């Protein structure tokens, strides 16, 4: 008989650890299924899980088995059709190719794919795998309003879930030693006195003294047995205190063109892009603030509801939005304390003389304050003056300025991954 013993220590949450190992092992299959699911879904439907299927042949596990013992003689039949190196054809018949068509057959067997469900958190882990806000830097910390419980020694009072077993057993051992030591000393003295009395000549022995010593020894032994192994006095609990934690702060400016040149289809794509961005930021950064700015000929800071769902028309002056971003940064978000990011969505249409103004504003003021600027142009047509001016900004700041074109909703997720892939800060 052969035994295989797995001596790897199990974690506290064994089933969760095993599931993470499974997800890591079949990461490529799951990631491919998640990308297909993202392309099928609307962006507003991103927060639920997903059912993933893996071909059964890809999850086969190696097995150990005993071989036949002793010497054996095997006679294998030959064949008249194949020679060494030939590739066997797949058997034909009804339903060939798995199309599900043809008449029923009484031969052959198959195997379903292995299917399982990803939770919301697991699904979003794969959706945003490899993404991050680029160049997140540690800024001067003005306030420490975030607290985190940290270990701070032990205490006599606490809840059972925080009991410190090692310290409790140590306290119990010390208490038992302290309580039993004088009793043991008195018991040893009584036993020595009894032995000395019993060694005397029978004529000189004192029966009353012997009886008293035996009674004392019995009393002391009962006292030793009565000392508890552990007492509530011995229990010690891990003490947790709330300690202020320094944290980086970031703000993302979401800028969207709502002029008349932006059709409803363009606006829907922009909304989906920003919804995906919002979900990404909300998941990864607890200390990120969002500022929503809509613009046509004039720019206005709005709330999330108005940013996504209100309708406006008019001309287009992009510099009005960039000017408003600069003013908000000056008033509320000091670059010394905040990591500043801007994401802009537009169809590329702009007032003729305004594109150069946008370029100058970015180069002279904004780019010096920002960690990252992303621009998505939603149009199937050729680029206009705004794109060309932004290319000049990108040439000057290649590590902190990114721009991509979106033609249809299916481009949103690939473009998003390009814009927010992990980068090394310079």
pLDDT digits (tens, 9 = 90+) for 324-340: 999 999 999 988 888 88
Query: 180-212 burial string, b = 16+ CB within 10 Å, else e?
Result: eeebeeebeebeebbeebeeeeeeeeeeeeeee
Query: 63-74 burial string, b = 16+ CB within 10 Å, else e?
Result: eeeeeeeeeeee
Cα atoms in the 13 Å half-sphere on the side-chain side of 312: 19
Cβ within 8 Å of residue 24, ≥6 positions away = none
Tell me 104's DSSP state: -
Q: How far is residue 61 CA from its own chain's centroid?
A: 28
pLDDT of residue 392: 93
| CA dist., res. 184 & res. 303, Å (int) | 78
Rounded to whole angstroms, what are the CA distances from 121 to 279, 283, 423?
12, 9, 24
* Helix ranges, 249-405 (H): 264-284, 304-309, 319-332, 354-361, 385-396
**Are 52 and 29 in contact, with CB atoms under 8 Å apart?**
yes
Q: Tokens for 152?
A: 């701070």
**Are 190 and 220 in contact, with CB atoms under 8 Å apart?**
yes
pLDDT under 50: residue ranges of the chain: 43-44, 94-100, 102-103, 105, 108-111, 141-144, 425-426
* Helix ranges, 113-164 (H): 120-127
Q: How far is residue 393 CA from its own chain's centroid?
A: 35
pLDDT of residue 245: 60
For residue 163, list its beta bridge partners. Answer: 237
pLDDT of residue 50: 63
């Amino acid at each position: 008989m052969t035994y295989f013993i797995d001596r790897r220590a199990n974690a506290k949450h064994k089933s969760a650890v095993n599931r993470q190992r499974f997800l890591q092992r079949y990461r490529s299959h799951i990631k491919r299924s998640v990308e297909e699911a993202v392309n099928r879904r609307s962006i507003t439907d991103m927060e639920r899980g997903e059912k993933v299927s893996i071909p059964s042949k890809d999850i086969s596990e190696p097995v150990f088995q005993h071989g036949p013992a002793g010497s054996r003689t095997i006679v294998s039949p030959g064949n008249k059709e194949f020679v060494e190196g030939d590739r066997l054809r797949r058997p034909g018949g009804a339903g060939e190719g798995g199309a599900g068509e043809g008449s029923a057959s009484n031969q052959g067997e198959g195997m379903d794919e292995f299917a399982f469900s990803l939770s919301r958190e697991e699904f979003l882990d794969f959706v945003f795998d490899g993404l991050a806000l680029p160049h997140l830097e540690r800024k001067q910390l003005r306030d420490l309003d975030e607290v985190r419980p940290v270990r701070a020694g032990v205490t006599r009072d606490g809840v059972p879930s925080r009991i410190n077993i090692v310290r409790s057993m140590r306290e119990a051992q010390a208490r038992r030693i302290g309580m039993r030591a004088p009793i043991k000393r008195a018991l040893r003295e009584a036993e020595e006195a009894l032995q000395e009395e019993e060694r005397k000549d029978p004529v000189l022995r004192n029966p009353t003294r012997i009886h008293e010593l035996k009674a004392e020894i019995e009393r002391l032994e009962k006292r030793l047995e009565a000392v508890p192994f552990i007492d509530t006095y011995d229990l010690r609990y891990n003490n947790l205190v709330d300690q202020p934690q320094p944290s980086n702060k970031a703000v993302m400016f979401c800028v969207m063109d709502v002029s008349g040149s932006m059709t409803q289809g363009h606006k829907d794509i922009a909304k989906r892009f920003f919804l995906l961005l919002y979900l990404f930021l909300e998941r990864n950064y607890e200390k990120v603030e969002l500022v929503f700015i809509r613009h046509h000929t004039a720019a206005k800071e709005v709330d999330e509801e108005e940013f996504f769902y209100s309708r406006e028309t008019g001309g287009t002056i992009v510099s009005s939005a960039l000017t408003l971003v600069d003013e908000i940064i000056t008033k509320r978000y000091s670059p010394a304390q905040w990591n500043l990011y801007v994401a802009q969505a537009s169809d590329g249409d702009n007032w003729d003389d305004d594109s150069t103004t946008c370029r100058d504003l970015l180069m002279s003021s904004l780019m010096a304050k920002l960690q990252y600027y992303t621009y998505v142009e939603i149009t199937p047509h050729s680029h206009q003056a705004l794109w060309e001016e932004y290319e000049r900004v990108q040439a000057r700041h290649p590590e902190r300025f990114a721009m991509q074109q979106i033609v249809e909703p299916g481009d949103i997720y690939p473009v998003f991954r390009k814009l927010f892939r992990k980068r090394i800060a310079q």
